[in-house]
Amino acid sequence: MQELVATLNDHSRRYYTEDNPTISDKEYDLLYDELVALEAQTGETLPDSPTRRVGGDILKGFEPHRHLARLWSLDKAQSTEDLAAWETRVRKLIADYNAKNPERPLPEPEFVVELKYDGLTLNLTYEGGELAQAATRGNGVLSVKNELYKKAQGKLTKTLKYAIL
């Protein structure tokens, strides 16, 4: 398991930090799925396992951006059953939080589901209906600031035509 974790971490570094992948997404996913199965079988997850995080470090030369709220992952859900299990985990986390924080409970989750395309995630922030920030996914908490916004001028919706509550 240690060798598989080290191999996956090496590929993650090359993909996310160096922007120089050496295997295909499909090959990475096969190795990752092998690790997930091994962790489930043994009940052990190593501290540096890639199953404990999303994304990677920010490329050097880019300005960091901290997301307003964590961007979560579907944990590579590949079936209706995987998606249902993910939803169950989300609802349990919210219920656990609300039990500990009754004065500030989280609302029931709402979901939007769309087809997944391998590629880049872009997180858009609107303030007062106007596009204020565009950032990559990064590790779900920290990402690259504004670079995509600069490159995608004219291709992003700059003004929302409805109010957001």
Q: Are residues 95 and 29 in the same domain?
A: no
162 within some domain: no
From the list 139, 113, 116, 136, the residue with the least C-alpha distance to 125 is: 136
pLDDT digits over 121-138, tens only? 778 888 888 888 887 777
**Which residue is catalytic, options 76, 92, 116, 158?**
116
Instruction: Domain of residue 76: give its range.
Output: 65-151
Say whether both 15 and 93 belong to one domain: no
Q: Are residues 13 and 77 in the same domain?
A: no
Domain assignment present for 78: yes
Task: Note whether residue 60 is domain-resident.
Answer: no
Active site residue 116: yes
DSSP letters for 13-74: IIIIISS--SS-HHHHHHHHHHHHHHHHHHS---TT-GGG--S-PPPTTS-EEE-SS-----
Q: Considering its fold, how many domains does the chain have in total?
A: 2
Whose tokens are 């050496």? That residue is 22
What are the tens digits of pLDDT across the range 4-47? 999 999 998 888 777 788 998 889 889 999 999 999 999 999 99
Question: Are 139 and 104 within one domain?
Answer: yes
Rounded Cα distance, 49 and 23, in Å: 19
Rg, C-alpha atoms of the chain: 18
The pLDDT tens digits for 89-103 are 999 999 999 999 999
Do 122 and 70 share a domain, yes or no? Answer: yes
Structure-block tokens of residue 65: 């951006």
Instruction: Assess whether 145 and 103 both reside in one domain.
Output: yes
Q: Kindly state whether residues 11 and 41 are assigned to the same domain.
A: yes
User: Does 79 map to a domain?
Assistant: yes
pLDDT at 78: 74
Residue 2 Cα to chain centre, angstroms: 24
Instruction: Give the span between the Cα atoms of 161 and 131, in whole angstroms.
Output: 12
